[in-house]
Structure 1
């Protein structure tokens, strides 16, 4: 599951790059920044900026609400992601695939109306992903907003020896950078294909997460408990 989390973080980096640089200059998954951008847009009387920030906030909230409804908002305590979380990740992949199709049809960044729709859709995908990771409980970790993860890592690294930092945090931070870098490189080298990267990464993460229970089940079948 750790690898699946890392791949989802990379997907978030790719989505944020496309969202900020090619859509409406707001973030798809970092709502704290979007609230600040909304305030700045209001301060400079920028109607376009206000619309973009509100669409991102609305999309994120809608995505999180839908996933919360599907998963009933319960955090799982198992070692694998529950079926409802997997179902939500498949839904996210489908949403990103639709966005990638619009992007490819436009040959790159779309027009203003399509940008608004894609911005809202990207934010919905990130909101759904964030809620899905909360529902996955201990078997998951934040994948769309890592400020708290980084702060916790620093505190535990510099704090008492009894609170050891998560060794996967640097890997997650690196994945965020790698996902963003790959999306930007694709925007320059193959603009029509840049939108496909988030879909590919979320699909890869979902397949990776699904392989865990399958391997565990196969291992149990190959090594049945001895009869008493």
Structure 2
């Protein structure tokens, strides 16, 4: 599903996605409210959601979409290189974000990556957003540290790497583990931290002081 109030942007994204035989655009929406109606009416696996829209913005829409019984994975789209709205969308449950000037092939790759259950955590971009708008300290840091104490030492190591934007393969290589074992650790980490995806887990890691190299 493509969600954007700019009809030309929406059309361009739909045309781009249509070039991939493995992807099907099942819905379009001009604001968050329309997106919720569309997602409730049919199965949507991935939603590309703009941040700034009328009626219901992308941040509110992300939270509502992720709360559906069969929630789509959400990739936030933004015109801005670094924008507080992007961080807020990630905290609301988005699985990542893309800039609207991202190369077309990278947009297609991102949809596949998110559909497979991974997050769009481009290391440099993710660190920029998290570092600038989620610097930790105060109650947020204490809350994060309390959550992290629920993890085993190995899970804490995995979380620290996730906080830096590492993929499962990169975590496996760094810690000398099988990728399937890393996936199992990540699942347990998400459950223990009471978060829904890797992006939110990375935010907890940063608040707890685990994200720095």
Larger helix proportion, structure 1 or 2? Answer: 1
Query: TM-score, length-normalised on structure 2?
Result: 0.25
Query: TM-score, length-normalised on structure 1?
Result: 0.24
Q: Which has the higher contact order (CA 8 A, sep 6+)?
A: 1
Larger strand proportion, structure 1 or 2? Answer: 2
